[in-house]
């Protein structure tokens, strides 16, 4: 999987890391996002929404990548990212992963960098490398069954890798990806801030172990929206460290927005808060979510020894269908990392608000369990309608211990610890968090034609452009570079075909590109044009200048 770190700074340092992992589907809205992404195949133009646009770009094929699903591209990714990272201080860089199946082991991304997967690009995790890996829309396939089988057989000596892990970073965008079959959690931003996760499709078998969808961990200002998640564990889980380690580090997850997400997870929660919450979870805003065939909606998980807090939680607009529980809190959740936890470290759970919930085909309306002598307080539930499955329903629909709060307009009637209080309307903030105000720019990337595949397919279809006798950069073009072989001019040109500016036909280029590995290479020119067409210039070795139209008119070789 891919691990993204800003390894040059310590926690609390002031260096910023801006990362984007993007995908694009031509000419359609992407999974309900408000921006439209387009691909202009004629000249390799790609338009997409992003927090930041990059000045430089290159294709994975430019570095020798092979997208056959068999050849390892680990070193290619590492080399490409290393070289493109040199542009971090000059507008940043984009690495384009073109259509194909790209097998790779783990690699690190870097600051001021965009990994862009085109439609039909699939990143495959290598099963031979015992470290995490990641991917995009295009698709990233973690090939997790290899790991799940070893986990079930207790044959692992290492922790299973996450698909995408982002550490100590700021200004992060992960959008418009399809992620499948992660060995462990899919997306794990940790100790990071200003994160947008948008338009992801996350798919794993519902019986796969620990395949959480998106888990912000000790993160500040996070926005998760417009995602579709099928998971063997929690679709989304907010975390902040485990027992004494989380207490010591003391970095909460706070200012988290989750909206317009659909979840399917028969054995876990749509949104979980915890259980690793020892650094604290504060100011979480959840709205307009849909759960189908899912164990619970928003679940709080904690235990004695966790410490920390869960507070200021605001939930509204849930549409739930086929649920075991609607409301579920647990004060005795599971294991500890080691026996050194502090049994006196009790979590504080308070200010939990639910409103405007509709649930159908439910087994149990609520299982609300706090901690003895440490009750969960300030629970507010209003305007909730729950339709219980008559065949599966439990006699006790609201099971409440060690909790306190109030309810209003809730069906079926809640437990005595949450009494009816008329005119109660549970809170949801009117203000907007800073991350909600972040708007995407429209980035236009005009891709240089790929030397190995695109050039011979497209050069004959481009309009004629007249160049000067001595080849020089023209003022009305934006010039970039392309590697072409340096050799003598070929004999003749195919009559009747549209040609590039010096008369070389598509077939001529195809022939020459096939012999590229046997040729010396020189850096010539190519172009992202502001006006029309493409100019491909060459230098004659013996003359050091371009071939002119004048020579063709004189009957000389072209």
Looking at 226, 233, 283, 450, which residue is catalytic?
233
Compute and round to an integer the Cα radius of gyration of the chain. Answer: 28
CB count within 10 Å of CB 42 equals 9
| Residue 49 β-bridge partners | 442
Largest Cα–Cα separation, the chain:
101
Q: CB-based contacts of 157: which residues, under 8 Å, 6+ apart? A: none
Give the side-chain half-sphere CA count within 13 A for 209. 13
Partners of 346 in the beta sheet?
Answer: none
Residue 176: burial class (beta carbons within 10 Å; 0-12, 13-18, 19+)? buried
**How many CB atoms neighbour CB 520 within 10 A?**
8
Cβ-based neighbours of 456, under 8 Å, separated by 6 or more? 506, 509, 510, 513
Instruction: Determine the Cα–Cα distance for residues 267 and 252; give it in Å rounded to an integer.
Output: 27
**Which run of H or of E encompasses 369?**
strand 348-369
Cβ atoms of 370 and 344 closer than 8 Å: no
Contacts of 362 (CB under 8 A, 6+ apart): 320, 323, 324, 325, 326, 386, 387, 388, 389, 393
**DSSP strand E in 126-219: where?**
139-141, 164-167, 170-175, 178-180, 187-190, 193-198, 201-203
Closest CA to 461 of 424, 527, 405, 505: 505
**Across-strand partners of 529?**
477
Instruction: Specify whether the CB–CB gap between 411 and 398 falls below 8 A.
Output: no
Place of tokens 């649930």: 359
Q: How many residues does the chain have?
A: 558
User: Exposed (0-12), middle (13-18) or buried (19+): which is 199, by Cβ within 10 Å?
Assistant: buried
Q: Choose among 446, 378, 391: nearest CA to 42.
A: 446
Residue 368: half-sphere exposure toward Cβ, Cα within 13 Å: 26
CA 231 centroid distance within chain = 16
Q: Which residues contact 520 (CB under 8 A, 6 or more apart)?
A: 485, 486, 487
Angle at 395 between CA 392 and CA 397, to 5 degrees: 90
Active site annotation includes 14: no
Active centre residues (catalytic): 233
């Amino acid at each position: 999987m891919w691990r993204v770190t800003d390894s040059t700074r310590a926690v609390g340092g002031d260096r910023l890391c801006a990362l984007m992992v993007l995908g694009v589907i031509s000419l359609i809205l992407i999974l309900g996002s408000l921006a439209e992404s387009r691909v202009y195949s004629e000249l390799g133009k790609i338009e997409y929404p992003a927090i930041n646009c990059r000045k430089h770009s290159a294709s994975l094929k430019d570095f020798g990548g092979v997208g056959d699903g068999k050849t390892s591209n680990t070193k290619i990714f590492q080399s490409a990212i290393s070289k493109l990272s040199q542009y971090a201080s000059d507008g940043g860089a984009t690495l384009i992963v073109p259509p194909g199946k790209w097998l790779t082991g783990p690699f690190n991304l870097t600051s001021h960098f965009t990994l862009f997967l085109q439609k039909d690009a699939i990143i495959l995790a290598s099963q031979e490398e015992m470290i995490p890996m990641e991917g995009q829309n295009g698709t990233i396939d973690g090939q997790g069954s290899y790991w799940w089988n070893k986990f079930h057989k207790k044959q692992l000596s290492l922790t299973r890798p996450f698909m995408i892990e982002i550490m100590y970073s700021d200004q992060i965008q992960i959008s418009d990806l399809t992620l499948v079959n992660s060995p462990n959690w899919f997306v794990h931003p940790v100790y990071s801030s200003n994160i947008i996760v948008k338009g992801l499709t996350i798919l794993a078998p519902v019986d796969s172990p620990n395949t959480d969808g998106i888990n912000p961990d000790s993160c500040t200002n996070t926005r998760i929206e417009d995602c579709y998640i099928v998971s063997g564990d929690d679709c989304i889980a907010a975390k902040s460290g485990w027992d004494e380690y989380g207490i010591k580090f003391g970095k909460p997850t706070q200012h988290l927005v989750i909206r317009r997400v659909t979840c399917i997870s028969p054995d876990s929660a749509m949104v979980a808060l915890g259980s690793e919450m020892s650094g604290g979870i504060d100011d979480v805003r959840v709205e307009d979510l849909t759960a189908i065939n899912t164990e619970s909606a928003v679940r709080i998980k904690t235990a004695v020894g966790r410490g920390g807090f869960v507070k200021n939680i605001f939930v509204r607009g849930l549409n739930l269908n086929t649920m075991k529980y609607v409301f579920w809190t647990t004060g005795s959740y599971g294991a500890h990392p080691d026996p050194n936890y502090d049994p006196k470290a009790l979590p504080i759970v308070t200010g939990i608000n639910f409103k405007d919930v509709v649930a159908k085909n439910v087994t149990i309306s609520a299982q609300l369990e706090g901690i003895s002598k440490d009750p969960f307080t300030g629970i507010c539930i209003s305007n909730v309608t729950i339709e219980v499955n008559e065949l599966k329903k439990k006699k006790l629909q609201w099971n409440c211990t060690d909790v306190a709060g109030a309810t209003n307009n809730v069906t079926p009637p809640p437990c005595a610890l949450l009494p009816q209080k008329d005119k109660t309307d549970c809170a949801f903030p009117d203000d907007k968090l800073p991350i909600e105000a972040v708007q995407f720019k429209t980035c236009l990337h005009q891709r240089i034609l790929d030397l190995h595949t695109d050039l011979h397919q497209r050069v004959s279809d481009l309009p004629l452009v007249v160049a000067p006798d001595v080849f020089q950069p023209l003022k009305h073009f934006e010039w970039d570079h392309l590697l072409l072989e340096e050799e003598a001019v070929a004999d003749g040109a195919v009559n009747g075909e549209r040609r590039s500016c010096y008369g070389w036909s598509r077939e001529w280029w195809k022939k020459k590109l096939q012999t590229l590995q046997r040729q010396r290479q020189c850096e010539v020119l190519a172009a992202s044009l502001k006006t029309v067409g493409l100019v491909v210039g060459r230098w004659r070795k013996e003359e050091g200048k371009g071939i002119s139209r004048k020579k063709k008119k004189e009957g000389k070789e072209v």
